[in-house]
Structure 1
Amino acid sequence: MVEALAPVRAAHRFDETGLLRWMEQHVAGFDGPLTVEQFSGGQSNPTYRLRTSGRDYVLRRKPPGILLKGAHAVDREFRVISALHAAGFPVPQAFGLCLDESVIGTVFYVMEMVAGRNFWNTAFPEVPREERPAYLDAMNATIARLHSIDPAAIGLEDFGRPGNYFERQVGRWSRQYLEDSEAGRVPAMDALIEWLPANIPPGDETSIVHGDFRCDNMLFHPSQPRVIAVLDWELSTLGHPLADLAYHLMMYRMPPGFSTGLAGLDLPALNIPSEASYIADYCRRTGRDGIERLDFHLAFSLFRLAAIIHGIKGRMLRGTASSPQAAAAVEQLERVAELALQQTHANFGG
């Protein structure tokens, strides 16, 4: 499955001549002319395909308009994929970062266009039933590998602040939610802002975390169950690996039709591994005995997703939301917040 392409939307047009000049000066081997199209996805950072006679590229930029402080950090995306690519982790090769907003109106970077399959449904309906476990296992192996990389060994020791990850993240997303008054308040979010800080599990760990690890943010080999590129690193940082895993595990908690949800599906009939089996495989790969306080980790991850959707709602109301699917995502805001709150009452057993 390939993400749809279309002419650049009116709100995201820019000076293509300026981009052409920049590419000629900063991207080795670039040879114009240049044709620009926009990918249909990208709720946060507008993403474009740059076609040339010799090869294609991908451009990621900050959206235009007034932005919340610290959001849409494409410069951080550029840094992390550059380091991970050099370490052999499956990410696109980054070619150049432009901090000069006069070129196209916002900060942007350019990376390679990876040819692979993109799936928007974690049930992998396009894949033969007998092959589906291998695709789930490929995702599992990839996130376990990411969490096993020593940040200092690849020059990312200062990519985030080590320690107190949950305290800082709950505070960050709570502030962004509260400060975006145009998007309004959600009762379940208000309740979570009270519950989460009081229920942070003891102990701490630090690894590189992706922040949005889902099947639709990966490219798979054209014919094999193998992840060849992990995309969309805007939310990456140094953080707690179990927060990253729990966000990924939301696929088992979200209903079909929203995000990449599997909840309510007949997983044995689909030949999809159970959540318990998936967690066990991750623990085996990362040397863990199990995961305690899954309730907190899932509640936090769903709260964070709800806060992101709340931010999309604010940008939509201000006319700067970067995807035509923004309204559909915003419709799910209260549902996701309520699902997050439900995790706080669940009994997971360890």
Structure 2
Amino acid sequence: MSEDAGVRAGFELDAGALEAWMQARMKVPPGPLTISQFSGGQSNPTYGVTVGGLSLVLRRKPPGPLLKGAHDVLREARVMGALGEAGFPVPRILGVCEDPEVIGTAFYLMAHVEGRIVWDPATDIADPGERAATFDAMNATLARLHSLDIDALGLSDYGRRGGFVQRQTALWTRQYREDVDAGRDQHMDRLADWLGERDLPDETSVIHGDFRIDNLILHPGRPEVAAVIDWELSTLGHPLADFAYHLMMYRMPAHLGGLAGRDLQALGIPAEADYVAAYAERTGRSALPDLDVFVAFNMFRFAAIIHGIRGRVIRGNAVSPKARKRADEFPELARLAWEQAVKAGAR
């Protein structure tokens, strides 16, 4: 993300009200308060706030009407607060405001973490040795998250235990089949039926839900994870579903943002098998026998989301060039998703 010079129209904050709240709740040093807005694809607006030489980050709900349960920034603050107490690398939560009267929506403030955001490791990291170390750090960070004790974190009620893949499969199957405008796809139809019949060994951990390299802040000078950000999709769920979502980078072609087809050895990026083995060892597993099923599940869910975008484009209420490009990718994503199921034994 980059920080814009100002704040975009419609996303302004009442600087006076914010400063008064901060002075009363956080005892920040006196001095002029400045606000700027970060650019990027996150759905919850994010701002840089400086006051008295102190640098903070503010994250809030978007203004305007919202679907029930959507954009729950207080939930983000809760999970990051709990993880931070356990020593997991997240930004430190400094203040939480549930009162929408202060700036128009609920918000929280966290410490600014200095570091780097990497979008494409093949181009944004110059040295192969640094790439290898960065991938190892990503792997270790996700394995550590999945090894934390839910009850010790105080997150036993952060989601439902068990049945995560089954519930999600049912949800996205329904969403896909109900959007008649976007049409049907033979690969999605077969995959929905196949996933619905799978009986997977169940387990539960805290999951991030969107663990990608661009949702990490890397240390400014070392291949280390300084902080994991964007916890909007976090919940209690199956750790292997979370890992398989992360692993999709190996199965997606370059034009869809993945690593498939690239010379991983020359880039210094570990082969998928080695990356999987490292995660398995770190989480105390001898093997991950159902991994292709979990990858197929994640690609099905991703394709179903894009199918929804396709429907909105067809109905004329999603007209941005980015939405149209995504909609055009749906058939390829559906095919890729079915290919993962075939690897897992689907016929």
Q: TM-score range by the shorter chain?
A: 0.7 to 0.9
Give, in whole Å, the separation in 2 of the partners of 1:35 and 1:319: 34
1:282 maps to which of 279, 304, 312: 279
Matched residue of 2:122: which SS? coil
1:152 offset after TM fit, Å? 0.6
1:173 offset after TM fit, Å? 3.8
CA 1:67 to 1:304, structure 2 compared with 1: closer, same or farther past 3 Å? farther
2:339 maps to which of 318, 339, 342: 342
Contact 2:91 2:111 in 1 (8 A): yes
Q: Single out whichever of 29-38 and 153-162 deviates more from structure 2.
A: 29-38
The answer to whether residue 262 in structure 2 is matched with residue 271 in structure 1 is no
2:100 is matched with 101
1:20 is matched with 19
Structure 2: which 5+ residue stretches go unaligned?
none
Matched residue of 1:196: which SS? helix
Contact 2:47 2:58 in 1 (8 A): yes
2:164 is matched with 165
Contact 2:118 2:124 in 1 (8 A): no
2:206 is matched with 208
Q: Deviation digits for residues 205-251 of structure 1, max 9, x if unmatched? A: 11111111111000111111111100011111111100010011011
Give, in whole Å, the separation in 1 of the partners of 2:29 and 2:322: 33
1:1-350 alignment, distance < 5 Å: 3-29=2-28, 31-123=30-122, 125-175=124-174, 184-185=182-183, 187=185, 189=188, 191-199=190-198, 201-259=199-257, 261-309=258-306, 332-347=329-344
Q: Deviation digits for residues 72-120 of structure 1, max 9, x if unmatched? A: 2211110000001011000000112222223233222111110011111
CA 1:211 to 1:130, structure 2 compared with 1: closer, same or farther past 3 Å? same
Give, in whole Å, the separation in 1 of the partners of 2:304 and 2:65: 18
Give, in whole Å, the separation in 2 of the partners of 1:77 and 1:159: 11
1:37 offset after TM fit, Å? 1.8
Contact 1:20 1:32 in 2 (8 A): no
Give, in whole Å, the separation in 1 of the partners of 2:309 and 2:29: 34
Contact 1:98 1:108 in 2 (8 A): yes
Give, in whole Å, the separation in 1 of the partners of 2:111 and 2:318: 30
CA 1:329 to 1:16, structure 2 compared with 1: closer, same or farther past 3 Å? farther
CA 1:95 to 1:318, structure 2 compared with 1: closer, same or farther past 3 Å? farther
Give, in whole Å, the separation in 2 of the partners of 1:150 and 1:133: 29
Contact 2:3 2:38 in 1 (8 A): yes
**Equivalent pairs, count:** 343
Contact 1:35 1:51 in 2 (8 A): yes
Matched residue of 1:110: which SS? strand
CA 1:265 to 1:70, structure 2 compared with 1: closer, same or farther past 3 Å? same
TM-score, scaled relative to structure 1: 0.86
Contact 1:91 1:229 in 2 (8 A): yes
CA 1:96 to 1:184, structure 2 compared with 1: closer, same or farther past 3 Å? farther
CA 1:220 to 1:162, structure 2 compared with 1: closer, same or farther past 3 Å? same
Q: Single out whichever of 79-88 and 120-129 deviates more from structure 2.
A: 120-129
Residue identity (%) = 52
CA 1:105 to 1:189, structure 2 compared with 1: closer, same or farther past 3 Å? farther
CA 1:254 to 1:150, structure 2 compared with 1: closer, same or farther past 3 Å? same
Q: Which has the higher contact order (CA 8 A, sep 6+)?
A: 1
Matched residue of 1:344: which SS? helix
Give, in whole Å, the separation in 2 of the partners of 1:54 and 1:257: 42
CA 1:207 to 1:274, structure 2 compared with 1: closer, same or farther past 3 Å? same
Counterpart residue identity of residue 275, structure 1: E
1:5 offset after TM fit, Å? 3.0
Contact 1:63 1:320 in 2 (8 A): no
TM-score, scaled relative to structure 2: 0.87
Contact 1:65 1:320 in 2 (8 A): no
Contact 1:253 1:262 in 2 (8 A): yes
Contact 1:309 1:330 in 2 (8 A): yes
1:127 offset after TM fit, Å? 3.2
Contact 1:122 1:262 in 2 (8 A): no
Give, in whole Å, the separation in 1 of the partners of 2:3 and 2:156: 37
Give, in whole Å, the separation in 2 of the partners of 1:306 and 1:64: 28
Q: Single out whichever of 214-223 and 169-178 deviates more from structure 2.
A: 169-178
Structure 1: which 5+ residue stretches go unaligned?
none
CA 1:71 to 1:57, structure 2 compared with 1: closer, same or farther past 3 Å? same
